[in-house]
Structure 1
Amino acid sequence: MQRLDRGQTNASLLDSIRQRLESIEIQNPNIARFLCKIIPAYCPFARDIKILGHTVLHIPPLCKLNPLYEQIVGLRFKSLSYLVDRCGEDITVYC
């Protein structure tokens, strides 16, 4: 029996979570609306620090450091697509 080190266990857990997030099918408009409300349309952490109207420091979006970022954004996209394609809703309130 082969022992997994901690790094392999964490990677395996992350891969499992990624697969579960990617496999979620949106089939309920209430859940789709909820996901569109809680998952931001853009990374809220990017900031420009300005002094006297001049940008002196730019803090890049840190969302891409999140190992599940792509799957979460994909889930938001699936929700938006469901609301437009299946429910015929105007999604501009979520943009």
Structure 2
Amino acid sequence: MGLSNQFQNKNGFLTQLRHQLDVVEIRNDQLARLFCKVIPAHCPFERTISILGRTLFHIPPLCKLNPFYEQVVSLRFKCLIYLADECGEDVTKYC
């Protein structure tokens, strides 16, 4: 098996996994709450490093490098919508 075949197999697997995350339907309020707590509302990696009020350097958000970033954010959004629309819950505590 050549290198291009390995890449295609991995790429096909990633594509299939992304699709599976896209089609998940949320129908359980406890699971929705768990996902809203576990999946952060913003990229947790972005940081500005300062000492004595002077910025030394800035670490940009690296979430976009995650191949599943869009799907995970979409899943969190589905959970928020489910909790707000179906359960009538105030979702501002997850923002």
Same fold (TM over 0.5): yes
- In 2, the alpha carbon distance for the partners of 1:44 and 1:34 equals 18
Q: What is the match of residue 64 of structure 1?
A: 64
- In 2, the alpha carbon distance for the partners of 1:41 and 1:33 equals 13
Give me the CA root mean square deviation. Answer: 1.0
SS of equivalent residue, structure 1 residue 42:
coil
In the superposition, the TM-score normalised over structure 1's length comes to 0.93
Stretches of structure 1 lacking an aligned partner (at least 5 in a row): none
Q: Which structure features the higher share of helix residues? A: 2
Stretches of structure 2 lacking an aligned partner (at least 5 in a row): none
Deviations 1:14-57 (A, max 9, x none): 00000000000001111110110110111111000112202121
Q: What is the match of residue 43 of structure 1?
A: 43
Q: What is the match of residue 83 of structure 1?
A: 83
Task: State, as a whole percentage, how many aligned pairs show the same letter.
Answer: 57
What is the aligned residue count? 92
- In 2, the alpha carbon distance for the partners of 1:24 and 1:54 equals 45
Deviations 1:36-87 (A, max 9, x none): 0110111111000112202121101111100000000000000000000111
Tell me the amino acid that sits aligned with residue 77 of structure 1. Answer: F
SS of equivalent residue, structure 2 residue 41:
coil
- In 2, the alpha carbon distance for the partners of 1:79 and 1:68 equals 17
